[in-house]
Amino acid sequence: MSLILRTATRFLLPLLLLFSLFLLLRGHNSPGGGFVGGLVAAAAFALYALAFDVAAARQLLRIDPRQLIAVGLLVALASGMVAWLAREPFMTGQWSYITVLGIGPVPLGTPLIFDLGVYLVVVGVMLTIILSLAEE
């Protein structure tokens, strides 16, 4: 692939990943969320696979995308089960507030953890499809 794409990708990859995290975190009340964030992150790795090659992208990812699906499902599942500890129906949101210096109390809840699970599943599914199609 071209030198321009490769150089640009080196800069774009961390930016895209950061942006995907930003989307994930703002998703509760504004446009964004785990699904979109996951798509952006997957797109970042897909771009890397285009600029270099699939093996390099896999190496960068370190973990098999299939495992990401499993881990993501587990995270989402666990976030739903937290409600059982409070003796409430599955998936009921549980919230706690953490005071961060300079910002004040930040709400932290199971919906975010669920979104994180979605994020991982989306990255895993997309990369499983893209990378295995690209390898063919």
Partner 1 sequence: MNVLLVLPILIPLVTAVAALLAWRWRRVQRWMSVLGATALLFVALRLLTSVWRDGIQAVQMGSWPAPFGITVVADLFSAIMVALAGVMGFAVAIYSLSSMDAERESFGYYPLLHILLMGVCGAFLTGDMFNLYVWFEVMLMASFVLLVLGGERAQMEGAIKYVTLNLMSSALFLAAVGILYGMAGTLNMADLAEKLKNVHHPGLVTTLSMLFLIAFGIKAAVFPLFFWLPASYHTPPVAVSAIFAGLLTKVGVYALIRVFTLLFVHDVGYTHRLILVVAGLTMITGVLGAVAQNEFRRILSFHIVSQIGYMIMGLGLFTPLALAGSIFYIIHHIIVKTNLFLVSGVVHRLCGTYELKKLGGLYQVYPGLAILFMIPALSLAGLPPLSGFWAKLTLVQAGLEIQQYEIVAVALAVGMLTLFSMIKIWTEAFWKPSTLNPQPSDNRRRVLNLLFPIVLLALLTVAIGLVAQPFFALAERAADQLINPEAYIRAVLAGTS
Partner 2 sequence: METILAVVIGALYATGIYMMLRRSLVKLIIGLGLLSNGANLLIFTVGRLTRARAPFIPEGAETLTPPYADPLPQALILTAIVISFGVLGFAVVLFHRAYQTVGTDDLDEMKATDT
The DSSP output letter for 95 is E
Which of the stretches 5-13, 40-48, 54-62, 82-90 binds partner 1 when contact is defined by CB under 8 A? Answer: 82-90
φ, ψ for residue 61 (rounded to 5)?
-70, -25
Q: 6 or 66, CB closer to partner 2?
A: 66
60 alpha-carbon distance from chain centroid: 15
Q: Hey, what's the torsion of the CAs at 41, 43, 44, 47, to 10 degrees? A: 170
Q: Which of 25, 28, 54, 93 binds partner 1 (CB under 8 A)?
A: 93
When CB distances are held under 5 to 8 angstroms depending on the partner's kind, the choice from partner 1, partner 2, none that residue 135 binds is: none
When CB distances are held under 5 to 8 angstroms depending on the partner's kind, the choice from partner 2, partner 1, none that residue 4 binds is: none
Distance between CA atoms of 19 and 27, rounded to whole angstroms? 12
Q: Which of 22, 66, 106, 135 binds partner 1 (CB under 8 A)?
A: 66
